[in-house]
Amino acid sequence: MKYGRIITKEKLKYYEVAPEVFAAISPNRGLSWANAGFVNKGKGLVYDTFFDLPHARELRSFCEEQSGHAPQYVVNSHYNCDHTWGNQLFGDSVVIMHKNAAAEHVTEVPEYFQAIIEKKENLTLGEKYIQGEFKGFDLTGIKWHDPDMLIEANTTIMLGDMEVRIINVAPSHSDSDLLLWLPKEKVIFVGDVVFGGAIAYSAEGMKLWSKALDFIIDELKPETVVPGHGAICGVEGVQECKDYFAKVMSEFEKNYDDGLDALEIAKKCDISDFMHLLEPYRLFINILALTNDRRGLPTPPDWNYFAEEMMKLKAFQDQKYGERPWDPMSSWIE
Ligand SMILES: [Zn+2]
């Protein structure tokens, strides 16, 4: 990958992926270690604001350092807290979200996660996992910041002479996914519509998500893809995400059994081609969603339960494939 400037700060590394277009990349340490973007053209635009205020503060300072002012616009890739909870530090910007984000976000409560982070005794397996993932975040002071604009239709913003398109691909990862596409530069910021370690919450969602990936590959044809988590990639990263879901769906069909629970089905699924992805035991959640759908049951986002079962799948995978080391700084490669 060819970059312009590469600027490393304490928490984030900023890669200039096109002139005055920056990808703000986190070390990929697990859940909520997200990426963002800053387009320093016209009045300025930020795409996503991270999980906690220290990360958002660093991003805002970077914007001010580069442009001399706060960005005029903030666009959120979707409602999830690891992409939106820094919004309150951009109170002087116009915050734009998909119209469904306003209802979707209520399932995520800062105090709930903060209580798990601070818990010291009688930790469940799930809570231990979440504590490990969130080490390095500080969730104090977070309040949901209401967006200024809710959109559904594709929308173009001119930043000086640069055209920036916001494209609605919801529902795919969530019900509120918005891509940021720079057609002339062939750069796309995709939020969690593309990342290694992807999680879908329904069978229908998985199919629609695959269609969104087809649209990116076949119609937009980007040269640079900035995923919601992990390293900057090209269209091959989008293809891999698509291949992963295709494999999950076909393995589920092959191994589904009315008498088995989701964990037992997940253990039978062969995803050996995807063991290099972050936390391959996230497979549990995808298989749970497919299993529940088959049985007419909902899949509420119960992270404590997800984490418990993922840890059981991890133990199984470690034994079957050997323990895989993970380098969080691999997302900082140049
Ligand atoms: Zn995310």
| Structure-model confidence comparison of residues 18 and 207, the more confident one | 18
Per-residue pLDDT at 334: 85
Task: Give kind and range of the element (H or E) at residue 16.
Answer: strand 13-18
Does residue 201 surpass a pLDDT of 90? no
Rounded mean pLDDT, 122-129: 89
**Distance (Å) from CA 257 to ligand 1 centroid:** 31
Does residue 199 surpass a pLDDT of 90? no
Q: Which residues, listed in sequence order, are joined to residue 47 by a DSSP beta bridge?
A: 37, 75
Per-residue pLDDT at 209: 94
Instruction: Walk across the sheet containing 36-39 and list its strands.
Output: 6-8, 13-18, 21-25, 36-39, 45-47, 73-75, 94-98, 149-151
Does residue 189 surpass a pLDDT of 90? yes
Per-residue pLDDT at 96: 98
Does residue 301 surpass a pLDDT of 80? no
What is the residue whose two structure tokens read 């008498």? 259
**Distance (Å) from CA 34 to ligand 1 centroid:** 6
- C-alpha closest to that of 181 among 207, 206, 212: 212
Per-residue pLDDT at 80: 95
The C-alpha atoms of residue 229 and residue 192 are separated, in whole angstroms, by: 7
Per-residue pLDDT at 249: 96
The C-alpha atoms of residue 170 and residue 123 are separated, in whole angstroms, by: 36
Rounded mean pLDDT, 317-331: 93
Does residue 274 surpass a pLDDT of 90? yes
Per-residue pLDDT at 55: 98
**Distance (Å) from CA 83 to ligand 1 centroid:** 6
Q: Which amino acid is at 254?
A: K
pLDDT band for position 276 (cuts 50, 70, 90): very high
Per-residue pLDDT at 126: 85
Residue 322, helix vs strand vs coil: coil
pLDDT band for position 204 (cuts 50, 70, 90): confident
**Distance (Å) from CA 259 to ligand 1 centroid:** 33
Per-residue pLDDT at 304: 83
Rounded mean pLDDT, 101-129: 89
What is the residue whose two structure tokens read 């899949």? 299
316 C-beta neighbours (distance < 10 Å), count:
16
**Distance (Å) from CA 161 to ligand 1 centroid:** 30
**Distance (Å) from CA 228 to ligand 1 centroid:** 6
Per-residue pLDDT at 203: 84
**Distance (Å) from CA 225 to ligand 1 centroid:** 15
* Residue 5 near residue 310, CB atoms below 8 Å: no
**Distance (Å) from CA 56 to ligand 1 centroid:** 15
**Percent of the chain at pLDDT exceeding 70:** 100
Domain 6-332 has CATH 3.40.50.1100: no
The C-alpha atoms of residue 190 and residue 98 are separated, in whole angstroms, by: 14
pLDDT band for position 125 (cuts 50, 70, 90): confident
What are the sequence ranges of the domains in the chain?
Answer: 6-332
* Residue 166 near residue 96, CB atoms below 8 Å: yes
**Distance (Å) from CA 290 to ligand 1 centroid:** 21
Tokens of 46: 């930020």
Per-residue pLDDT at 46: 98
Per-residue pLDDT at 56: 98
pLDDT band for position 16 (cuts 50, 70, 90): very high
Question: Mean of the per-residue pLDDT values for the chain?
Answer: 95
